Amino acid sequence: MKKFRGTFTVMVTPFTDDSLEINYEVLGKFVDWQIKEGIHGLIALGSTGEFLSLNEEERYNVSKAVVERASGRVPVLIGTGAENTWDVIKYSRDAESLGADGVMIIPPFYSTPTETELFNHFKKVADSISIPIMVYNNPATANVDITPKIVKVLSEIENISYIKESTMDVTRVRDIIRLCEDKMIVFGGIMGYESFMNGAEGWVSVGSNIMPLEFAKLFNVNVIEKDIDESRKIYRYILPIIELVGQHRYTPATKAALKLMGLNVGSPRPPRLPSSGSDLIWVKEVVKKFNLKIN
């Protein structure tokens, strides 16, 4: 299997205006647009995709819709995280049966598992599927920190080959590469450009939901062409997008921007609220400044 590299969009999940149903027509259009713009891969049902706000049937149907629409044009990973190991196994087996290229798994986020429990959790899942696993480290949301030393232990599990390192400490990228060597490919999370500069081979990006072309270009120029000066220029250019969709705004601001760009992806599901007040003004200013639109 060809290894995953590049900028992968962690996708929003489009809802109807009342947020009660998935809007599969818009989802299909969004997948097509992302691929047309040159994105290297797609990840459905991550944090930005509100995976915890979807029921089991919706998770299955969204996974199916994205895999079928992408139709092998780019790799598709499915977020299969859950609190219960058996649920993660089920979601991961579903993803594999639907034709997904891999799964992204955040650790159990309430029980704060020990290192031994983490290993057993990921080992059971890995033993149940044959597609690659991307471990998702985001201690801010998961209440669990998968340190580089723990990553090294997990890298000994055969098909755990990737990690989305989503802390603000990019030295972890360096440390994971040093400790795991070729057993673990690192994708940056929040700090994409900075992660590339420390050896990451990919970026799981929120901002590429609304600007896939430039976010993909940053990888191409930095990692493939190794043009550091030009990649720095691209990074500075897209930085307002990265800042816009940071912190609590990652889902509501992204959805608000896409609406203004011409693709009505609906609002976040409660308890999340749509962007309003100063946040919405900020979204409008950025969309206007960059002349963002979906034709």
Convert the pLDDT of each residue in 119-141 to its tens digit. 999 999 999 999 999 999 999 88
DSSP 175-222: HHHHHHGGG-EEEESS-HHHHHHTT--EEEESGGGT-HHHHHHHHIII
* 247: confidence class by pLDDT, cuts 50, 70, 90: confident
Domain locations in the chain? 6-235
**Is the per-residue pLDDT at 295 higher than 80?**
no
**2 part of the active site:** no
Span 98-105, average pLDDT: 99
203-214 pLDDT per residue, tens: 999 999 999 999
Average pLDDT for 52-58? 98
List pLDDT tens digits, range 258-293: 999 999 999 999 999 999 999 999 999 999 999 999
Catalytic annotation, pick one of 60, 136, 235, 250: 136
pLDDT digits (tens, 9 = 90+) for 146-203: 999 999 999 999 999 999 999 999 999 999 999 999 999 999 998 999 999 999 999 9
pLDDT confidence of residue 2: 80
Q: What per-residue string of b and e applies to 96-133 under the rule 16 or more CB within 10 Å gives b?
A: bebebbbbbbbbbbeeebeeeebbebbbebbeebebbb
User: Which residue in 64, 164, 217, 255 is the catalytic one?
Assistant: 164
* Predicted pLDDT of residue 189: 94
List phi, psi (to 5°) of 171. -65, -20
Instruction: Tell me what percent of the residues of the chain surpass a pLDDT of 90.
Output: 95
- CATH fold of 6-235 reads TIM Barrel (3.20.20)
The fraction of the chain above a pLDDT of 70, given in percent, is 100
- Average pLDDT score over residue span 30-44: 99
**Mean per-residue pLDDT for 213-228?**
98
Nearest to 75 by CA among 124, 40, 122: 40
Residue 1 pLDDT > 80, yes or no?
Answer: no
- Count CA atoms within 13 Å of residue 65 on its CB side: 22
Task: List CB contacts of 255: < 8 A, sequence separation 6 or more.
Answer: 12, 265, 266, 267, 268, 274, 275
Instruction: Respond yes or no: is residue 136 known to be catalytic.
Output: yes
Residues 6+ apart with CB under 8 A from 57: none
